[in-house]
Structure 1
Amino acid sequence: MRTRTTAIAALFVALPALSVLGPTDAHAQAPAAAATPSAADVAEAKKKFEAGSNLFKTGKFEKAIEEFRASYAKVNSPNSHLYVARCLREMGKLVDAYLEFEKVAAEAQTAGEKYAQTGETAKVERDELNTKLTLVSVDVTTPESGARLTIGGVEVPQDRWGKPFPAMPGTVDIRLESGAKPAASQSLTTAAGESKTVSIGFASPKTGGGDGSGDGSGDGGSGGETGSKGMSGMRIGAFAAGGLGVAGFVTFAVFGSMSNATYDDLKATCGGPCPADRQGDVDKGKMQQTVANVGLIVGAVGVAAGATLFVLSLKKDKKPEAAHTELVVGPAHLGVRGTF
């Protein structure tokens, strides 16, 4: 157990003084100044503070915090408030303790010079928690009246938006809510002692997604048109069909050449009808010619289909002329002719 000694006597000196000292300038400007505690309230506050101190020293923090809160309810002393924050820390409620130490520091600053040391102690003990917490600054890009921001499930006051706010290390969920718009959310992965800054905002009507940048992360998603980038399916089909057509023409050329070579050999060696022992070569020549013919058909169909698909895949806002393709076969050439 780690404790710090803030003299209990300081409370005893400070509490009676509240009944005789006039309000400070800050208090005088407040709409309604807190009522001066009665002697009975001061005595009860002392009693509760002493009980809380004894419980705190023995490690009974759950019961101690009840006594300190009861003391603070009687007399709003930053000293009892400081021990409320310390109890939260010792109970493992580090985020609550951090925020409570901040409140003590702010309270002590306006409570008079006698509480200056209490305020400084609260700042030191708050900063010591930085190594055990992560600090997240959230910039709300679409602030709206009535919007609610939470970090790690803890609501963040609007005057703390964009400023470091404590959260437990690990996965930190950030959520921005408003009754008028869909919530925006994102998650961060953080480590102890780390500080991160992210942005979040409500969805734009044009995109339909929340601004979850950072990192997020996060990202609330962004809408917009899709398919404007990359190759269309029809264009891919055009190239595939064209490739198949080219392969068919290559097959036609190769097997046609082999068939011609076989025919020339049989013509030279047989001189006429070939004998039965050359029937295998005759059949081979027929097979080569059949494969060549099939390659020719596949090539013609593939190239024609590819050309047609390519024309149809052009931009929709351009009205192309009707595509026309035809196979051209001549005595010494083979090809495809068409208009795009």
Structure 2
Amino acid sequence: MGFGAPVAAQPEGDAAIYAQRHFERGAELYREARFEEALAAFRRSHGLFPSPNSMLFVGRSLRELGRNAEAVEAFEAAVLEARLRAVDEPRYRDTEAAAEAERDALSDQVGFVVLERGEGGLESGVRVEGRAISPERFGLPIPVTPGEVAIAVGDAAPQRVRVSAGEELRVPLRAVPEPAAPSLAVAPSGGGEVWLVASGVAGGVALVGVAFALALTVAADARFSDLQARCEGFCPPAEAGAIAEGRDLELAGILTGVGAAVIGAGAVVLLIIGLASGEPSLADGRVEF
């Protein structure tokens, strides 16, 4: 079927006149292969005054744009419109036949889903691939692009199904709730455990250092007590080596104690880092597909 008058512009007035103009503009754009613009013009024409011919060319424009599922839907709408109008206007029988043939030619290149009322009698706000689906279309094949198809009910997360070309898949509708905001629970990660182990090792070294410092201090005190007992207030030059040894023990005890204190402080820091380095783990928040 070629381009024909979409409407009989008699009693309907301005709407029919402007619908005719948009149709003619769409025809020019279609012949120039400017299919996106032609689609918009044919849709404007059909919106002003519904006509099987303008809907037929909506389908043809969609087909040329590679949007086959939408094209099949438009051809089906053109078939139904033409069938009703042909009762009183026989000229639309050709439109019906053309739309039916072009719809069938694309049928093996698209998939179909048949929506079934599911839990709670869900009916409103249903979308298939982003297209709004009225309850009247439940139980009837709805063309879709082959592959993964998103079916959404209201504001819920979409159901996702896979449909092959030429396949007709029945899909019970259900509202899949949006995933809850993830709750964050701090749990030590692998990195946190390393810090905790390091703090334990440092703490152990610090304890050993403190014990060694105490031992050196006790040894130094014992040496000085022995010298005091032997020298009775004055030590001869012969005891200079013993005095130096006592001082060395005392200094070593002090330095060891200071080192142990530093290591102990480091152990505390490592412990704090280890406890704070737990990473948030996501609880719940899974999406049902």
**TM-score relative to the length of structure 2:** 0.51
Partner of 1:284 in structure 2?
none
Partner of 1:228 in structure 2?
none
Amino acid aligned to 1:175: A
Partner of 2:164 in structure 1?
191
RCO comparison, higher one (Cα < 8 Å, 6+): 2
Task: Establish whether residue 6 from structure 1 lines up as the match of residue 8 from structure 2.
Answer: no
Q: Distance in 1 between matches of 2:17 and 2:64?
A: 27
Task: Establish whether residue 165 from structure 1 lines up as the match of residue 142 from structure 2.
Answer: yes
Q: Is the 8 A contact 1:184 1:201 kept in 2?
A: no
Partner of 2:35 in structure 1?
61
Q: Structure 1: which 5+ residue stretches go unaligned?
A: 20-35, 204-208, 210-340
Q: Distance in 2 between matches of 1:150 and 1:42?
A: 31
1:15 to 8, 28, 39: 8
Q: Is the 8 A contact 1:142 1:201 kept in 2?
A: yes
1:37 to 12, 25, 34: 12
Q: Distance in 2 between matches of 1:128 and 1:157?
A: 25
Distance 1:46 1:201, change over 3 A: closer
1:90 to 50, 58, 64: 64
Q: Distance in 1 between matches of 2:74 and 2:110?
A: 14
Q: CA deviation at 1:120?
A: 2.6
Q: Distance in 1 between matches of 2:153 and 2:167?
A: 22
Amino acid aligned to 1:194: E
Q: Distance in 2 between matches of 1:136 and 1:119?
A: 24
Q: CA deviation at 1:202?
A: 5.3
Distance 1:176 1:47, change over 3 A: closer
Distance 1:108 1:188, change over 3 A: same
Task: Establish whether residue 152 from structure 1 lines up as the match of residue 145 from structure 2.
Answer: no
Q: Deviations over 1:276-323 (max 9, x none)?
A: xxxxxxxxxxxxxxxxxxxxxxxxxxxxxxxxxxxxxxxxxxxxxxxx
Greater helix fraction, Structure 1 or Structure 2: 2
Q: Distance in 2 between matches of 1:43 and 1:198?
A: 43
After TM superposition, the structure 1 = structure 2 runs for residues 268-283 of structure 1, keeping only pairs within 5 Å, are none
Q: Deviations over 1:98-140 (max 9, x none)?
A: 2222222222222233312212322222222212211112322
Partner of 1:266 in structure 2?
none
Q: Distance in 2 between matches of 1:125 and 1:92?
A: 14
Q: Distance in 2 between matches of 1:145 and 1:200?
A: 7
After TM superposition, the structure 1 = structure 2 runs for residues 295-334 of structure 1, keeping only pairs within 5 Å, are none
Q: CA deviation at 1:184?
A: 7.3
Q: Distance in 1 between matches of 2:91 and 2:145?
A: 34
Amino acid aligned to 1:6: G
Q: Distance in 2 between matches of 1:164 and 1:42?
A: 32
Q: CA deviation at 1:186?
A: 3.5
- Classify the secondary structure of the residue corresponding to 2:140: coil
Q: Distance in 2 between matches of 1:37 and 1:200?
A: 41
**TM-score relative to the length of structure 1:** 0.44
1:135 to 84, 104, 112: 112
Q: Distance in 1 between matches of 2:123 and 2:149?
A: 23
2:23 to 43, 49, 65: 49
Q: Distance in 1 between matches of 2:172 and 2:15?
A: 47
Distance 1:73 1:161, change over 3 A: closer
Amino acid aligned to 2:8: L
Q: Percent of aligned pairs with the same residue?
A: 29
Q: What RMSD, in angstroms, separates the aligned Cα atoms of the two structures? A: 3.0
Q: Is the 8 A contact 1:102 1:122 kept in 2?
A: yes
